[in-house]
Structure 1
Amino acid sequence: MGLISILWGIVAMVWMVLALIPLVGITNWLLIPFAAIGAIVAAIGMAVTSAGKRGRAKTGLVLNCVVIVVATWRLGLGGGLI
């Protein structure tokens, strides 16, 4: 679960960088739920693994939360359209 959440977070991060381009920002409406699913997978991964092996899941959770925050900020900056 941890590895899946990291890979999900990396894909979301690349998508976020592309969505920072003007006129492509509308894709943030799809990016936020995508990253939220990655954060949920990471949270499940943290719940089912032992205390010593939660590093990957924590990293995936942080990546996805950063993407959600930046994408939300970008939507607010562009008025939700651009």
Structure 2
Amino acid sequence: MGMISLVWGIVALIWMVLALIPLVGITNWLLIPFAAVGAITAAIGLLFTRTGRRGRAKAGLVINGIVIFVAIWRLGLGGGLI
């Protein structure tokens, strides 16, 4: 689960960089649920893995959390459309 959430977070991060381009920011409406699924996957990975093997899940949770925060911030700047 940790590896899945980490890869999911990297894909979301690349998508977020593309969504920062003007007039493409509307894709943030799709990016937020996409990153939320990655964060939920990371949380499940944190719950069901052994103590020493949680690094990937933590990294996935942090990356997906950053993507969600930046996407919401970007939507706020553009009024939800741009």
TM-score interval, normalised by the smaller of the two chains: over 0.9
Q: How far apart, in 1, do the equivalents of 2:65 and 2:51 lie?
A: 21
Q: Which residue of 2 aligns with 1:7?
A: 7
Normalised by the size of structure 2, how large is the TM-score? 0.99
Kindly state the Cα deviation for residue 45 of structure 1 after the two structures are TM-superposed: 0.3
| Unpaired runs of at least 5, structure 2 | none
Q: How far apart, in 2, do the equivalents of 1:40 and 1:65 lie?
A: 10
> Which segments of structure 1 move beyond 3 Å, counting only runs of 4 or more?
none
| Overall identity of the aligned pairs, in % | 77
| Unpaired runs of at least 5, structure 1 | none
Matched residue count: 82
Mapping of 1:3-82 within 5 angstroms? 3-82=3-82
Normalised by the size of structure 1, how large is the TM-score? 0.99
